[in-house]
Amino acid sequence: MYSDPELKPLLWGDKRYHSWNYHLRQIFGEKVMKVSLNAGMSCPNRDGTVGTGGCIFCCPQGSGACAGDPTEEIRTQFRKVRERLHQKWPNGKYIAYFQAFSNTYADPALLRRLYEEALAQDGVVGLSISTRPDCLPEPVLEVLDELNQRTYLWVELGLQSVHDRTLQKINRGHDAAAFYRSLAQLRARNIRTCVHIILGLPGEREEDMFTTGQAVASMDVQGLKFHSLHVMKGTALADRYAAGEVDIIDRETYIRQVVNILEILPPHVVIQRLTGDAPQELLVAPQWITRKWGTLQGIDKLLEERNSWQGKNYRKKDSP
């Protein structure tokens, strides 16, 4: 069906891929926005449980460099962001997004309290919880399972690369098999799962990035976030970059690889992000990620030039 050249490629409104905005409007019938929150979590790859220092690209603020202030209560963080968003979208709804570090890495009772506090805020229609594959013990899965029965829930699960040699290079602290185990546990409970991958990781060639995309295309996942590797101050990656030990992916290569992977993904997979960003004051390289709209337009343009779209080259395979 999706390989038919006569099929209209704009299957998702004005986009040639299954965008997050399109998906949410289909579900809720209106604009829905994520509100990034910082619950002050830690990470087993920082506190010595599996390692120290974290992944080489992770800055001291973790993945929540753009999230809230962890010294403030969840309701206070939420209110501040909502007030800004409300000016542009006065009638929109919200997904409370636990973004910084590993947001299932705590006592289940504490996690439940934090999640419930977020759900209780005005206009919240669901939760998105970002975490690592090694932070989903059975008691936490039980909390997530219960939440999934009564709210719109996503768990964002970091894979980054399917190649174990790369995961070792970036000090990830787990292998690809750990990701597959946690994904199976989430999907056994019918919990929507969004996988994170990073293009341009140290030592990876374009074929390696594409292999990760092929692996994702065969998984039972409902969402995908693309990120480009970028260097931030205060990271091990910054030290290696300064020493000339790391090459950073250029924008043209990144755009090409995103499009290559979009073409082989199942059409139902929701693309929650096409490119990442970072606070300018923390960013070392590459500077092209600060021009986010240019990257997004480049992806749209290449899809149009190829007369292509998400799923055009998708072939159903058995999941690993």
Asked whether residue 12 is assigned to any structural domain, the reply reads: no
Below-50 pLDDT ranges, the chain = 1-7, 318-320
* N-term to C-term CA, the chain: 24
- Please write the tens of the pLDDT for every residue from 246-277: 999 999 999 999 999 999 999 999 999 999 88
Asked whether residue 315 is assigned to any structural domain, the reply reads: no
Q: Which domain, by its residues, includes 292?
A: 20-305
**Mean pLDDT over all residues of the chain?**
92
pLDDT at 278: 87
Q: Per the structure, how many domains does the chain have?
A: 1
Reduced to 3 states (helix: H, G, I; strand: E, B; else coil), residue 235 is: coil
pTM of the model: 0.93
pLDDT at 69: 87
CA distances from 199 to 157, 166, 185, 212, 292 (A): 16, 11, 26, 9, 16
Phi/psi at 130 (5° precision): -95, 135
- Please write the tens of the pLDDT for every residue from 130-155: 999 999 999 999 999 999 999 999 99
Asked whether residue 224 is assigned to any structural domain, the reply reads: yes
Contacts of 175 (CB under 8 A, 6+ apart): 164, 167
DSSP at 171: T
DSSP per residue over 275-312, as a string? -----TTTEEE-GGGG-HHHHHHHHHHHHHHTT--TTT
pLDDT at 63: 54
Q: Are the beta carbons of 241 and 253 closer than 8 angstroms?
A: no
> What torsion do the CA atoms of 305, 311, 312, 317 make, to the nearest 10 degrees?
140
What CATH number did the domain enclosing 96 receive? 3.20.20.70
